[in-house]
Copies of this chain bind each other. A is one copy, B any other.
Amino acid sequence: MLSTTAEVRVRYSETDAMAVAYHANYLPWFEVARTALFNEIGLSYKKLDDAGFLLPVLEAGLRYLAPARYDDVLAVTASVLEIPRVRIRVDYEIRLDEKVITTGHTVHAFMNRTGQAIKPPKEVIAGFQLAFAKSAAVAATTATQP
């Protein structure tokens, strides 16, 4: 499993007339964490974009458990549970003061510049495999520590 947590501070522009964060704004927050995760394993959107690949969103789901308010500092965790084959699924949790206030997921496809769905490029699969291997190695080391 790959996992990254990014910090997001709720902006006034993201609140609505109920004085809580508007529900659509969680998707950009998910993206902030997703971007951080991809950057971390060396597969930045910019690099993918330069190589002619796009990663459109096919599906998104969100569960709102508790509200977020102006100036709250949120911890947004993005996780990839399995090495992607054709599509990439990312799962999310948002925490406020250690409490999970939102969960969600997105599913992405690879697309070339002409808008056709394609298999993920080899370097992307290789990047994920390497990252998963490293992550497993770290987990193993940690597990065997006295």
15 A–B pairs (Cβ distance < 8 Å), ordered by A: A11-B31, A12-B31, A13-B16, A13-B22, A13-B28, A15-B17, A16-B16, A17-B70, A27-B27, A35-B71, A44-B71, A56-B64, A58-B63, A61-B62, A67-B115
Q: Is A140 an interface residue (CB 8 A)?
A: no
A17 touching B23, Cβ below 8 Å:
no
B20 touching A12, Cβ below 8 Å:
no
Give bound CA distance, A45 to B69, whole Å.
12
Copies of this chain present in the complex amount to: 4
CB distance from A32 to the nearest CB of B (A): 6
Give bound CA distance, A58 to B20, whole Å.
13
B19 touching A12, Cβ below 8 Å:
no
Chain A residues bordering chain B, tally (CB within 8 A)? 40
A71 contacts across to B, CB distance below 8 A: 35, 39, 44-46
Given contacts A16-B16, A23-B57, 11 further A-B contacts (CB under 8 A): A12-B17, A12-B22, A13-B27, A14-B28, A17-B17, A17-B20, A17-B70, A45-B70, A59-B63, A59-B64, A61-B61
Q: Is A54 an interface residue (CB 8 A)?
A: yes
A61 contacts across to B, CB distance below 8 A: 59-62
A59 contacts across to B, CB distance below 8 A: 61-64
Q: Is A135 an interface residue (CB 8 A)?
A: no
Chain B, Cβ-Cβ closest to A44? B71
